[in-house]
Structures are given as structure tokens and as C-alpha cells.
């Protein structure tokens, strides 16, 4: 619903056709003074920006971090020390460094804003997927406002042709309308950046649900946090909206026929920059800029803890709240799948085995003592009634897809026998905690790794939760740390 980038080269060519056949000189905005408006036929180049009248927001070309790719974005003008981008036009179609000097953002007379690369004279992004062939309005203009909204309108009739508030990326500003369509069951979606240097679509998003709640979603498939339904004053799982947050902001709710509705976030005090976004590690955060510290102050985050985010450390990754900012590590016997991403605090790729399983008797198990059990799911878990732990181990050993097992002496099946719990595929949501309870969990490894790691037994206990992203339903899983070091045998140091 928020996809505003055309995927068809032919369509993009049609959008830019007036530009392609124009032989006259293309004017650019003046660089002598900051302007907030781009008029029909004008362009922005790499060294130019639009600045809102109150000097609150700026639009132009930017490169995130140490990236060599260029994007069109909007950022806070007042925040100088830490450029904070709140909207990206071409997030999934970056400009390479070779094309940056020859690129321009141009407003066409047909009302479309297009991002052009001079070679091969085709746009890579546009505000619309289908051009208006009949429109030819020389009074059309694009204005960046003090609310951060980029609006394209016609001066002749005042009609809004397009606005960035209808197409938020990862950071919806106050004034953005969150819409839910009761007929199509679709919602405006807010999607995280992949990492701090890549604004392309990440794996975490926020969308509205039929029950008038906001949901955080992993990989477009798994809901792991809900705000709870709207009760007319606040969302049921966010009661602090009536107290702390309620003093500085509120939601305006509108209901329509067919189950459609929308929310608009209203900020009461706009004297300081306010930043609400979904970060690349899956939390929704609200922050206020502090002029004293010249930094952002987090005033609200959901889920409250990093390790409550589903899949934050990826497969076979271990999450720890006490290891900020590098909250994730790999289990022993595993290594980071994408080390470069981990350096950018993007752990979603998880960990992979250092040594492949041989399948069958050539494999062994790493015993992680004092552990709770991974979240039980019908798709990834199987519960069997067996007489002893050795039989449970044998079942997992003989199944090449089995990645872990537990012989749970506290769980009795309907047949009266002790349960053998088996997990298949990837283990997700492993959290390291300091708690004094748990069970034994056995992670399947190549025999050499399993034998070596299993010999380390006596030490202090490090506890782990595997499975559910919410602390109150999580299960505790423990690992044993060697006396000679701070790293548990179940956890490998991050590189």
C-alpha cells in the first residue's frame, strides 16, 4: 500500500517522456538561498536541497553511513550532529556513486516527481506508477513543509496531487494518517531499514489489524507484538498513553463504513524534533531530541526489551540485554552468517554451523544444562512418549531434520509417559538471562564439536530463554560457562 516505486521500466519511461523529449535547458533551483519549493520543470542535483520555511526539515540527496549509494530523503534540519532521515524515496533503488553526479530529482509538468539518471536518460523512481497524459500544468509545485511532508500540488486549483505522508517508510511523522481498508483488509505499512547503512525494506514492519490495533510483524508473516485494541482513549496494551505519553501527544481516530478506519498521531508540543520509527532490530521507538546532550532521548519503546523481538538474533543466535549494543552472539559450533551485517547491528541473518551435520550416528549433541524448552509449535516441534532419555536422543539422532531435543521430566503425556520433545530446523529467539531454574536441552552438532563442548561442565550458570518473544511466557534455557572465561560454552564470542 505504501509502494510508490514503479517496477516497470516502460512505465517509468512514459512518466519521464516529457523530460526525454525536452530540448530546452532544464532550470535548477538557486543555490544562493535555501528554498522550500520546486516548481514545474525545475530539478535538484546532488549538491542542492529544499529546506522548509521554519528550517525544520530538509530534502535532498544523501548517503547513509559509510555506504557508497545515494538516495533521495527527508531529514531533520535542526539535528546537525546526527543526520536523522525520516523518509526515503528510492529506498529499494539506490543510485550508485558513478551515477551520483549526473542524477537529478525533477518535477514534471504532468505532476510527477522523478529521480533521473542522465545515463541512459531513464528515471529509476517516480511518485506515481501511471503518468497523467492529459495534465500539463505549469503551476504545479513541490513544497517541503515544516511538518516534514513533501506535497505536490497545483497552484491553479490547490488540489494535492501527491504527498509523502501517504507513503511513509520507516518513520511516520506526527500528522501521518494510518489507514486500514475494511474491504481489502490492507493497511498502510511502516517498514524498517535493513540496517544503518541500507534503507531498503527490512524484515520488521508495523501494520493495522481489524481489531483497531497496531501489530509488529516479522518477515511479513509472524506477529510478535500487539498494541491491543483501541478503547477510545488508548491502546489496551499501552496504558502509559493516558499518563506520560498522553501529556505530549494523542491519537485521533476516525471510523468509516465497511470496517475501514484510520488513526492520526498528533503531537502537542512541536518545539523539539520528535522521532517515531521502527528500527532495524524490530522495536518501535519514540524519541525526542535533546539540545543539551545533542542526542536523541528514548521516551518509549515496544516491545520494551530487545530480546522480546522475534528473530532479532536470527537462527541459532543468542540475545542478551546486558550486551548493548551488540546484543547477539552465536551458539558454540556456529558462526555469523553475514559478519558485515553484524557489524552494522543487523543480526537477522543469524548463525550457521561451522561443521555440517553428517546425519545419523556421525552426529552428537551439545548439552546445555539448566535450560527451559524452546517454544513448542506444531510446525517445528514433535512430542513423543518414551521411557527414557536415551530413546529420545536416538529418535533425534536418526532424523536428519532434528536440530535439538529435550527429555522433559516435568511434562507427562496423555499416555502417562515422560515427554520427549524434538525441534526441527532453526532455533529462534534464544535469550541469555541470569535465572536459577531450567531443564537440559541438547543441540545437535557434528560429533567432534559435540564431544569437545560437552566436556565443559563445571562453572557459573548462564541462563537462556528460547522461543516466545514475550518474557512472561518465555521458557528458561541455561548454559554452563567455563571457569576460565566469561563466555559460556553454549555461546561463541561475537567477532
Q: Between the ranges 49-53, 118-122, 405-409, where is the mean pLDDT highest?
A: 49-53
- Residue 465 contacts residue 431 (beta carbons within 8 Å): yes
In a domain, residue 487? The reply is no
In a domain, residue 177? The reply is yes
pLDDT at 435: 65
Poorest-confidence range of 80-84, 408-412, 426-430? 408-412
In a domain, residue 57? The reply is yes
Distance of CA 182 to the CA centre of its chain: 25
In a domain, residue 400? The reply is yes
pLDDT at 277: 97
Q: Does the structure show a pLDDT above 70 at 366?
A: yes
Instruction: Give the domain extent around 337.
Output: 310-480
Q: What is the pLDDT of residues 32-50, one digit of tens each?
A: 345 999 999 999 998 899 9
Determine the Cα angle at 62 with ends 147 and 179, to 5°. 40
pLDDT at 21: 38
Q: Which of 130, 148, 167 is the last residue of a domain?
A: 167
pLDDT at 381: 78
Flag whether the pTM goes above 0.85.
no
Q: What is the rounded average pLDDT for all residues in the chain? A: 80
Average pLDDT value for residue range 143-172: 93
- Residue 211 contacts residue 223 (beta carbons within 8 Å): no
Q: Is 215 left (phi over 0), alpha (psi -120 to 50) or beta?
A: beta
pLDDT at 137: 67
Residues 217 and 259 in one domain: yes
In a domain, residue 326? The reply is yes
Residue 486 β-bridge partners: none
Residues 232 and 357 in one domain: no
Residues 389 and 400 in one domain: yes
Poorest-confidence range of 213-227, 234-248, 417-431? 234-248
Q: What is the pLDDT of residues 184-210, one digit of tens each?
A: 999 999 999 999 999 999 999 999 999
CA 130, CA 123: separation in Å to the nearest integer? 13
Query: Would you state the cell numbers that stand for residue 372, as one nine-digit string?
Result: 527451559
In a domain, residue 348? The reply is yes
Q: pLDDT band for position 52 (50/70/90)?
A: very high
Residues 397 and 473 in one domain: yes
- Cα of first residue to Cα of last residue in the chain, in angstroms, is 39
Structural domains of the chain, count: 3
Q: What is the pLDDT of residues 372-424, one digit of tens each?
A: 466 666 557 788 888 888 999 999 999 999 998 988 766 654 445 568 989 89
Gyration radius of the chain's alpha carbons: 27
Q: Which comes out higher in pLDDT, residue 374 or 485?
A: 374
CA 268, CA 289: separation in Å to the nearest integer? 15
pLDDT at 120: 66
Burial class (CB in 10 A: 0-12, 13-18, 19+), 369: middle
pLDDT at 417: 59
Average pLDDT value for residue range 435-449: 77
Q: Which of 243, 276, 304 is the last residue of a domain?
A: 304
Q: Which of 275, 304, 333 is the last residue of a domain?
A: 304
Average pLDDT value for residue range 311-328: 85
DSSP string, 257-284: GGG-EEEEEEES--SS-EEEEE-TTS-E
Residues 156 and 196 in one domain: no
Amino acid at each position: 500500500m505504501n509502494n510508490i516505486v514503479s517496477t516497470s521500466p516502460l512505465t517509468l519511461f512514459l512518466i519521464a517522456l516529457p523530460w526525454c523529449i525536452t530540448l530546452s535547458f532544464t532550470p535548477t533551483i538557486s543555490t544562493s538561498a535555501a528554498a522550500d519549493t520546486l516548481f514545474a520543470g525545475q530539478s535538484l542535483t546532488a549538491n542542492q536541497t529544499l529546506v522548509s520555511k521554519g528550517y525544520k526539515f530538509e530534502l535532498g540527496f544523501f548517503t547513509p553511513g559509510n555506504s557508497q549509494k545515494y538516495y533521495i530523503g527527508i531529514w531533520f534540519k535542526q539535528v546537525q550532529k546526527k543526520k536523522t532521515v525520516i523518509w526515503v524515496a528510492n529506498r529499494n533503488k539506490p543510485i550508485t556513486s558513478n551515477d551520483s553526479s549526473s542524477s537529478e530529482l525533477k518535477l514534471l509538468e504532468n505532476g510527477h516527481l522523478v529521480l533521473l539518471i542522465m545515463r541512459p536518460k531513464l528515471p529509476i523512481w517516480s511518485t506515481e506508477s501511471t503518468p497523467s497524459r492529459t495534465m500539463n500544468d505549469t503551476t504545479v509545485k513541490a513544497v517541503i513543509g515544516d511538518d516534514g511532508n513533501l506535497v505536490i500540488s497545483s497552484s491553479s486549483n490547490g488540489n494535492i496531487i501527491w504527498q509523502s505522508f501517504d507513503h511513509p517508510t520507516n518513520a511516520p511523522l506526527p500528522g501521518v494518517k494510518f489507514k486500514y481498508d475494511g474491504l481489502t483488509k490492507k493497511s498502510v505499512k511502516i517498514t524498517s531499514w535493513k540496517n544503518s547503512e541500507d534503507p531498503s525494506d527490512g524484515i520488521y514492519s508495523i501494520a493495522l489489524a481489524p481489531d483497531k490495533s497496531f501489530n509488529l510483524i516479522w518477515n511479513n508473516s509472524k506477529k510478535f507484538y500487539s498494541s491491543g485494541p483501541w478503547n477510545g482513549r488508548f491502546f489496551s496494551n499501552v496504558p502509559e498513553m493516558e499518563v506520560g505519553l498522553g501529556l505530549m501527544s494523542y491519537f485521533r481516530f476516525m471510523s468509516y463504513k465497511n470496517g475501514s478506519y484510520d488513526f492520526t498521531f498528533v503531537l502537542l508540543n512541536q518545539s523539539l524534533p520528535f522521532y517515531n520509527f521502527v528500527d532495524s532490530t524490530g522495536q518501535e521507538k519514540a524519541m525526542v531530541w535533546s539540545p543539551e546532550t545533542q542526542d536523541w532521548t528514548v521516551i518509549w519503546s515496544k516491545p520494551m526489551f530487545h530480546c522480546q523481538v522475534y528473530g532479532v538474533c536470527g537462527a541459532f543466535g543468542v540475545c542478551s540485554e546486558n550486551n548493548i549494543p551488540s546484543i547477539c552472539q552465536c551458539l558454540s559450533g556456529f558462526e555469523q552468517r553475514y559478519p558485515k551485517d553484524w557489524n552494522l547491528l543487523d543480526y537477522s541473518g543469524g548463525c550457521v554451523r561451522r561443521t555440517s551435520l553428517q546425519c545419523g550416528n556421525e552426529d552428537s549433541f551439545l548439552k546445555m544444562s539448566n535450560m527451559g524448552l524452546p517454544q513448542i509449535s506444531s510446525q517445528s516441534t514433535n512430542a513423543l512418549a518414551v521411557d527414557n532419555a536415551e530413546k529420545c536422543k536416538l529418535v533425534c539422532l536418526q532424523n536428519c531434520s532434528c536440530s535439538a531435543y529435550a527429555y522433559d521430566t516435568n511434562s507427562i503425556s496423555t499416555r502417562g509417559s515422560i515427554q520427549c520433545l524434538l525441534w526441527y530446523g532453526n532455533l529462534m529467539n534464544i535469550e541469555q538471562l541470569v535465572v536459577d531454574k531450567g531443564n537440559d536441552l541438547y543441540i545437535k552438532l557434528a560429533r567432534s564439536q559435540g564431544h569437545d563442548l560437552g566436556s565443559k561442565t563445571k562453572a557459573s550458570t548462564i541462563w537462556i530463554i528460547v522461543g516466545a518473544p514475550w518474557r512472561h511466557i518465555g521458557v528458561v534455557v541455561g548454559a554452563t560457562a567455563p571457569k576460565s572465561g566469561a563466555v559460556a560454552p553454549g555461546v561463541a564470542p561475537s567477532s
